């Protein structure tokens, strides 16, 4: 499918794999989408900035990069940053079209329904989009796709008006008569208000007055504050809605000065916010921020997971704002026709943005239209990378499944640095543009949004699964059943049933049949420090005491890590240490206990702070202290091992020291957690055969320990 992307200040239309329906979402074939001129032109400009200018604007990301340099090195950090800068990003957040597919859990939409869609994360300029239910609204029968594609802008304007709480007969000033100002003016008029509009562009003022705005004023015709005072008999406006975009602080000051005593100001646009106390203190003004489309915006539970707010408690959510805006347009209460300056076919997207940039389109709305598909049939969900090279002889042809931040920062660079072992055959991601970006950057043969494409490909020898945790077990099982070797990121599974299903696959393999290799991403055991530690304790004559401290750092409660997708921090991360203990002892666990603290308040979850104690059948005991209470400035991980008169200390995978013996440890300037070594071991096992890098029983044990610990933590 065709999708509009932004890259280094340029707009391009590229072929991208169509998205796949997910639970709680619908696939929509777009008929029209609306270019948000202010937001999108700002995005294009920002994408063209050199790295040093971006650094000045985002100091928090500079700090993050410096920390990454200290742990992973300059080269790895440089590669990651350059890759991000080179990525083509989607644009657009308002569209309308026809439902193609309906995901599980949606019962009030059907294939063929005409809908409008919102959301910068989904309602892109593309032929097909995947949109969550709460960001999708049915169209009134009499409303066309072109007008409906403005739904997001309409909801933004409506939320700004709702924040102002206008009443019949009040006088409002709208500062900035771009598209949001034009819509806000019409909405205020529909509320029975007297509307005064002001803008630096006389053409915009003229359009607003043609659409029913009562009075338009221009700053060049005299002080706008004085003009508002005269027009309100000296009292001042009941309220001001700011829809302008400028870094100047003068706009907010002007808005305050225009108001009567006890008036209110609502900020919808983006302006300078250095406030002057004298502007609002004496009048005791109210200042409100309007958050985008309305209640639900930026709430993942509402937008992504479909949890609606009860109408009795939240009358106007973003979805209800969208629906009400479309009703007003359909009834003619809002007139959009004079506001639509041009409609460009998607094939002429470059010309559309050029026209916007040059100012040749005078009206504030520019739309893109999408032709129906030339050939009816299923959506294309795999796109070849014409720049890819064929795989070399004897290499493991691997497909990356799940292209999140960790895969981008760790797995893909490591695969590229191991050309003697791997050829990247495919990149699969739930978003086509992300998969396409990475396929081009790392030389994969193709990008896809559908897991089955990878499983059907006879040229894929192995898959590297790096998706959200709740998908690991099912995808792993599907890949194994398709005859693919699997390296699945930890955890292997989040439920006992899923773990038994994976284990059951190997029990069902017939005698003499060579089963695919399974490797769970317990990378720490492959680190040089852990390997050396294992060598030193291999000849021990006594059980060991292993004390591990993980200063894990705080993760906000709304992160996916804490949800059903992540499974929590015990199953999602502490499983690494259960595997490390298993690796070092080489023994079966015979007893598992755990205790968690419950700090005051609800800042932490039940899996944020706990101590796990394990006893193994060789007599060794292991203790893990896992905490989010500590400072991130302190090193994250440390292991102390006491055995046979020796003390071995593994310090944050930078150094292993040995006290009490002449044996040498290891040290490194950069953290080495075994990710690259893990991949090498995986490739060598596939190509040469022999023992698995991690025996199946050890992978099962580490995962099962996390389940037992979870039971203690949930008590």
Per-residue pLDDT of 481-510, as tens digits, reads: 999 999 999 999 999 999 999 999 999 987
CATH topology identical between 382-520 and 523-713: no
Confidence of residue 53 (pLDDT cuts 50, 70, 90): low
* pLDDT value of position 425: 98
What is the CATH superfamily name and number for domain 523-713? Dihydrodipicolinate Reductase; domain 2 (3.30.360.10)
Judged against a pLDDT cut of 70, whether residue 209 lies above it is answered with: yes
Judged against a pLDDT cut of 80, whether residue 83 lies above it is answered with: no
Tens-place pLDDT, residues 613-656: 999 999 999 999 999 999 988 999 999 999 999 999 999 999 99
- Contact between residue 676 and residue 414 where contact means Cβ atoms under 8 Å apart: yes
Q: What percent of the chain has pLDDT over 70?
A: 97
Identify which has the larger pLDDT, 592 or 47.
Answer: 592
Confidence of residue 90 (pLDDT cuts 50, 70, 90): very high
- Contact between residue 493 and residue 472 where contact means Cβ atoms under 8 Å apart: yes
* Distance separating alpha carbons of residues 420 and 632, to the nearest angstrom: 37
Alpha-carbon separation of residue 570 from 21, 45, 589, 714 (angstroms): 30, 43, 17, 11
Indicate left, alpha or beta for 501 from its phi (over 0: left) and psi (-120 to 50: alpha). Answer: alpha
Which residues neighbour 471 within 8 Å (Cβ) at sequence distance 6 or greater?
A: 402, 465
Confidence of residue 52 (pLDDT cuts 50, 70, 90): low
The arithmetic mean of pLDDT across residues 515-523, rounded, is: 97
* Cα within 13 Å of Cα(361), Cβ side: 23
Enumerate the β-bridge partners of residue 624: 548, 612
Q: Which helix (H) or strand (E) holds 15?
A: strand 10-15
* pLDDT value of position 80: 72
**β-pairing, 365-369 with 340-345?**
parallel
Q: State which fold the 2-150+299-369 domain adopts.
A: Quinone Oxidoreductase; Chain A, domain 1 (3.90.180)
Tens-place pLDDT, residues 368-385: 999 988 777 788 899 999
- Two tokens at 216? 């338009």
Chain-centroid distance, C-alpha 674: 27
Indicate left, alpha or beta for 214 from its phi (over 0: left) and psi (-120 to 50: alpha). Answer: alpha
* Distance separating alpha carbons of residues 456 and 459, to the nearest angstrom: 9
What is the CATH superfamily name and number for domain 160-289? NAD(P)-binding Rossmann-like Domain (3.40.50.720)
* pLDDT value of position 512: 67
Domain chopping of the chain, boundaries: 2-150+299-369, 160-289, 382-520, 523-713
Kindly calculate the radius of gyration of the chain based on its CA atoms and give it in whole angstroms.
30
The arithmetic mean of pLDDT across residues 432-461, rounded, is: 96
Taking every pair of C-alpha atoms in the chain, what is the biggest distance, in angstroms? 96
* pLDDT value of position 532: 98
- Two tokens at 43? 């995005």
Chain-centroid distance, C-alpha 442: 21
* Distance separating alpha carbons of residues 110 and 609, to the nearest angstrom: 46
**β-pairing, 646-651 with 637-643?**
antiparallel
* Cα within 13 Å of Cα(379), Cβ side: 25
Tell me the pLDDT of the chain averaged across its residues.
93
- Two tokens at 199? 């803008």
pTM of the model: 0.90
Judged against a pLDDT cut of 90, whether residue 194 lies above it is answered with: yes
- Contact between residue 567 and residue 517 where contact means Cβ atoms under 8 Å apart: no
Q: What is the 3-state secondary structure (H, E, C) of 131-162?
A: EEHHHEEECCCCCCHHHHCCHHHHHHHHHHHH
- Contact between residue 96 and residue 114 where contact means Cβ atoms under 8 Å apart: yes
Judged against a pLDDT cut of 90, whether residue 419 lies above it is answered with: yes
Question: Under CATH, which number does the domain 382-520 receive?
Answer: 3.40.50.720
- Contact between residue 441 and residue 381 where contact means Cβ atoms under 8 Å apart: no
Confidence of residue 28 (pLDDT cuts 50, 70, 90): very high
Indicate left, alpha or beta for 591 from its phi (over 0: left) and psi (-120 to 50: alpha). Answer: beta
Tens-place pLDDT, residues 120-175: 999 999 999 999 999 999 999 999 999 999 999 999 999 999 999 999 999 999 99
Q: Which helix (H) or strand (E) holds 94?
A: strand 94-102
* Distance separating alpha carbons of residues 475 and 477, to the nearest angstrom: 5
Q: Residue 544 CB: number of other CB atoms within 10 A?
A: 22
């Amino acid at each position: 499918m065709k999708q509009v992307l932004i890259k280094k200040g340029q707009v391009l239309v590229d072929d991208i794999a169509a998205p796949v329906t997910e639970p709680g979402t619908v696939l929509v074939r777009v008929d029209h989408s609306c270019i948000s001129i202010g937001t999108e032109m700002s995005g294009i400009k920002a994408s063209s900035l050199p790295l040093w200018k971006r650094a000045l604007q985002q100091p928090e990301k500079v700090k993050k990069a410096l920390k990454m340099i200290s742990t992973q090195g300059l080269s790895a950090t440089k590669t990651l940053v350059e890759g991000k800068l080179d990525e083509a990003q989607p644009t657009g957040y308002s569209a309308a079209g026809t439902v193609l597919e309906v995901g599980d859990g949606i019962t009030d939409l059907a294939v063929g329904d005409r809908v409008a869609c919102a959301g910068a994360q989904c309602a892109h300029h593309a032929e097909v989009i995947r949109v969550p239910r709460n960001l999708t609204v049915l169209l009134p029968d009499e409303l066309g796709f072109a007008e409906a594609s403005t739904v997001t802008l309409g909801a933004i304007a409506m939320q700004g008006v709702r924040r102002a709480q206008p009443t019949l007969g009040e006088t409002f000033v709208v500062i900035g008569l771009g598209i949001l100002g034009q819509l806000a003016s019409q909405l205020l008029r529909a509320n029975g208000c007297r509307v005064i509009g002001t803008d630096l562009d006389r053409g915009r003022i003229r359009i607003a007055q043609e659409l029913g705005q009562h009075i338009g004023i221009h700053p060049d015709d005299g002080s706008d504050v004085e003009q508002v005072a005269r027009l309100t008999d000296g009292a001042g406006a009941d309220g001001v809605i700011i829809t302008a975009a400028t870094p100047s602080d003068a706009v907010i000051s002007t808005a305050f000065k225009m108001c009567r005593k006890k008036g209110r100001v609502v900020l919808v646009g983006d302006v300078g916010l250095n406030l002057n106390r004298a502007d609002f203190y004496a009048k005791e003004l109210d200042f409100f921020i309007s958050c985008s489309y309305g209640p639900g915006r930026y709430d993942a539970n509402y937008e992504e997971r479909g949890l609606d707010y009860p109408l009795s408690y939240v009358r106007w959510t973003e979805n209800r704002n969208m629906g009400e805006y479309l009703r007003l347009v359909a009834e003619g209460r809002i007139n959009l026709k004079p506001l639509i300056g041009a409609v460009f076919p998607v094939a002429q997207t470059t010309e559309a943005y050029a026209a916007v940039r040059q100012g040749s389109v005078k009206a504030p709305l520019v739309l893109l239209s999408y032709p129906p598909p030339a050939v009816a049939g299923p959506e294309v969900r795999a796109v070849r990378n014409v720049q890819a090279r064929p795989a070399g002889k004897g290499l493991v042809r691997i497909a990356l499944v799940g292209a999140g931040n960790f895969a981008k920062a760790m797995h893909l660079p490591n695969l590229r640095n191991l050309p003697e072992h791997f050829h990247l055959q495919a990149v699969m991601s739930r978003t086509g543009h992300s998969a396409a970006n990475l396929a081009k950057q790392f030389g994969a043969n193709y990008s896809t949004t559908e897991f089955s494409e990878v499983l059907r490909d006879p040229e894929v020898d192995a898959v590297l699964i790096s998706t959200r945790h709740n998908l690991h077990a099912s995808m792993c099982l599907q890949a194994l059943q398709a005859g693919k070797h699997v390296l699945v990121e930890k955890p292997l599974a989040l439920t006992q049933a899923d773990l038994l299903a994976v284990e059951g696959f190997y029990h069902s393999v017939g005698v003499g049949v060579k089963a695919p290799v399974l490797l769970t991403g317990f990378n720490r055991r492959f680190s040089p420090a852990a390997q050396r530690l294992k060598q030193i304790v291999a000849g021990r004559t006594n059980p060991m005491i292993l004390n591990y401290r993980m200063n894990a750092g705080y993760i906000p409660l709304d992160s996916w890590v804490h949800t059903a997708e992540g499974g929590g921090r015990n199953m999602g991360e502490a499983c690494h240490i259960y595997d490390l203990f298993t690796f070092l002892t080489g023994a079966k666990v015979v007893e598992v206990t755990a205790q968690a603290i419950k700090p005051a308040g609800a800042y932490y979850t039940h899996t944020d702070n706990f101590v796990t104690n394990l006893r193994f059948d060789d007599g060794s005991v292991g203790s893990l202290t896992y905490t989010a209470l500590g400072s991130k400035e302190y090193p994250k991980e440390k292991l102390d091992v006491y055995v046979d008169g020796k003390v071995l200390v593994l310090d944050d995978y930078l150094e292993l020291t040995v006290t009490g013996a002449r044996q040498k440890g290891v040290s490194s300037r950069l953290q080495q957690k075994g990710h690259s070594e893990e991949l090498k071991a995986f490739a060598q096992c596939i190509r040469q055969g022999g023992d698995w890098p991690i025996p199946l029983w050890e992978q099962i044990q580490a995962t099962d320990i996390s389940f037992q610990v979870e039971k203690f933590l949930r008590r």
